[in-house]
Structure 1
């Protein structure tokens, strides 16, 4: 009986530790391996638990605790280092500070806010 109670308590507490975790994906513009490092670092700096950006799909898969950060906060941090996201456009100065190989074509983009 004690084992059952202990198992139940551990299960409940274990599941509650992950209750605030969200996994999302968002389009982030970039070109190369340098972009990947910069985008993923910015996401982690904004509080992401994990971040993986694909240069082929231009999609960032991100896991975060919504009690500590949000997808919008992560997008804002990524934009601050020069990469436009689905919802946040990077400041022109940040975009222009990117290495030449990292400056993606903004003229073909769908407008972002």
Structure 2
């Protein structure tokens, strides 16, 4: 609020800058919170600015140019959602979600924690 009290972007309305370039990848991963933990930003006035900032960052052409969708992140980070990382294969799985032999678009959507464990 101190740097741009009425604006969308951190510094001014000139738009996307280094701050947004730094934070956008975190916003891209919000899909993981929703899919695996059921968390979304609350629809409350105190979160309206964060939501507006996140939506503006995600809609920016620089971010869209990465080609990564919410579904891609959900599929790619599946192992981490189970507590596995660095290419370790989760118990009950044949491959790591980081195995590139199967393109992300060809993979099934992973189950949420609730679907997997009830």
Q: TM-score by structure 2 length?
A: 0.22
Larger Cα-atom Rg: 1
Q: TM-score by structure 1 length?
A: 0.22
Which one has a larger percent helix, Structure 1 or Structure 2? Answer: 2
